[in-house]
Structure 1
């Protein structure tokens, strides 16, 4: 199936977009996403020097993942994102796990997030004022480049693996397993090129996934995604699929977000989500984050009211942001971004 790309209104909103809009309304007009998972896991002593990255903790320390999820909910997050970004069947099998064991680990990533939500709700069940804010679990699906663990999710250069059918085959069973674990959302994150977005769209249709999803791309310059593909063309692919409930940007320096929101708005009426990184740059060779040169990103949270005015409906943080960042975002939204 080839999905035709179009402009605003090229695809009916469908149940996915309607579901996201209901959650946004229930959240008072905005939803807060969580922040960096790996950052917090390392802060709690986890060693993530491994191709599985944060997914390593599904094996070694699920209690830490649960704690980080809980910390973000306590900080005000409406959506917690599972530790499955770099968790793949192929990656687990390379560690000696069977296919069944690998699938069970993917399922476990969603279960851990569900457990954190239940712990929070139980802890607050005796409050005199009932809690009505939505708390949702989004199952993360990282790009093929994330599985490679060589930084190629920041370039989109997959070499010979860069074919539509290869990418569909790589992601198919992972998507099915995560959907079967019943998260509230499926988060296709850090999408580096148009081709992988097209693969996701076709898989959502072919696998008949009914759980609402979001597509978030990463940009290198405020105009293109990291592969050099036009953001407008990538957003059109996402807009063309009625199973996609929101479109946006993640793991991108804050200084680029304003122009990226305006670009996405040109081609979709779906809710827009943004969760930038702290403004640092990832060095793929050293496998570490380094301070960016050039224009300073300043205080991350100082951008939030601008993004809110631009029309972003879901706002959070990505790499190198913390529960303190999310707490400040929540406070800023409550003070300066009343429900539209």
Structure 2
């Protein structure tokens, strides 16, 4: 079909680690061309253009966002620059893919969305977990009622956090409870519906930071389901702890854990001494070399939930390119981005005040169609 290969010309803003990740993906997509990159560091912009064979570069992200002949702009800049980048691109008539969060303040996110709507351009925000086949498999298990309802989705992790200092600044990246856990807030709305309220206890573990880097967050949904996060970006460099990622319900539990690395003991004990084997038989139609699975622990047995592993970043960018080519609404747009940011800012408020924050006024939920 001709619309599947119609050319889409991109400007990419931000040549950091994730900008390179996006460039690698965009150059794999048929009919996609990146014509200019931007970074405040001229040597990095030049090196990126050389590395990926891109014809032009600039140190001014606004210049790239308004670049003549561009169809779309991919924003991989620090969060505090997102609003300006999105509005500049929209005012230039360019469609926009913007990494999450859309902004640090809800008012700025609303302004960015309005700019895209007024210009008649598409806006997609980088909630890549909406395209993660493992998370989507978990969502299906929950929606089918195999765990019963309500459920408690819990995740705990501890690391040194993001590589640049701006991530830890309240006015730069917002810290992990804005920059990172916003994926959980968005996916929680995707699965459970609207948020009722949030509670949080947050702190700054490492000095010199202005955003909380450590804390406990509880999100309660109108459905009665709950999300509990225990997160820290406050550990020393190269130090991290084992992750906990599970969904608990009255009929069982779902273990959302990665496939073990070679040499790791594949047997562990769950519940009342039930042995769980981290190996699964070949499933018809599933490439065993690209096999992923979750563990569903029921009353009497443990069984794998098999899914095909995928590159969620590639799939989300491909969905944006398709939306541009076919003049369709992107699967994760401005309304979802604003709603998730409202949860994130409520978490910061709850952490500061020690009081629950109500969120019953979030905008209407939209969901990505089943794949």
Q: Which of these two proteins has the greater Rg computed from alpha carbons?
A: 2
Structure 1 length as normaliser, TM-score?
A: 0.30
Structure of greater relative contact order (alpha carbons < 8 Å, 6+ residues apart): 1
Structure 2 length as normaliser, TM-score?
A: 0.28
Tell me which protein shows more strand as a share of its residues. 2
Tell me which protein shows more helix as a share of its residues. 1
